[in-house]
Amino acid sequence: MADYLPILVMAVLVVLFVMGSFVASTYLAPRRPTTAKQAPYECGIVPEDEPAERFPVKFYLVAIAFIVLDVEIVFLYPFSTVFRDLGGFGLAAVAIFVGVLLIPFAYLLSVGALSWASSPRRGERPGRPVLRSAAVVLDPSAPAPAEVEVEVDTGTGEAA
């Protein structure tokens, strides 16, 4: 127990320092809120309205897949150092481990989650123009409601 006392003291000091920093910044920081300070800041551009579309989920999928595969590789390093001592059982355990992590990766590849080329969405025919309307359409393959008229110039593919 005496060997771990310096580590425990250091952990307590770290926690006290972090808590003290938060308390000090709360009480000592000047509070002069203005509309400019409370506005969201994005690269020096003042936002005038909400963004037109959401941030693509594909970036998050790639990040999560990278983290999972990176952790998998970290767990494979110890196996590579002692694989001869483990025998058939160790080989089977690592094969199951790799299989469990590569099956979702194969699924991501099969649905095109890691493909950066523009590809048509599921159920969408290639070359079909994307039409935007004021009405909410739950099924993209369903025809637009009768009260919304959309004209498409076939020469340029833009809505008129």
- For residue range 107-117, what is the model confidence (pLDDT) as tens digits? 878 877 777 76
Fold type of domain 14-111: Methane Monooxygenase Hydroxylase; Chain G, domain 1 (1.20.58)
Q: What is the pLDDT of residue 12?
A: 96
Contact 94, 76 (CB under 8 A): yes
User: Structural domain boundaries of the chain?
Assistant: 14-111
Segment of 120-124, 139-143, 148-152 carrying the highest mean pLDDT: 139-143
Give the CA distances from residue 112 to residues 65, 123, 127, in Å, rounded to whole numbers and listed in that order.
13, 14, 19
| 63 confidence band (pLDDT: 50, 70, 90) | confident
Give pLDDT tens digits for 81-109: 888 888 888 889 889 988 888 887 888 78
Q: In the prediction, which pLDDT does 156 show?
A: 57
119 contacts: CB under 8 Å, gap ≥ 6: 112
As beta bridge partners, residue 22 has none
CA–centroid distance for 142 within its chain: 30
The pLDDT of residue 14? 96
The answer to whether residues 79 and 86 touch, using CB atoms and an 8 Å cutoff, is yes
Q: How confident is the model at residue 67 (pLDDT cuts 50, 70, 90)?
A: confident
Q: Which pLDDT does position 23 carry in this prediction?
A: 94
> Would you state the structure tokens that stand for residue 52, as one six-digit string?
């037109």
Is the pTM for the entire model greater than 0.75?
Answer: no
pLDDT (average), residues 129-150: 56
Q: Which helix (H) or strand (E) holds 37?
A: helix 35-38
| Nearest residue to 108 via CA among 65, 138, 160 | 65
**CA–CA gap between residue 71 and residue 36 (Å, rounded):** 42
Helix (H/G/I), strand (E/B), else coil: 45: strand
- Predicted confidence at residue 5, as pLDDT, reads 92
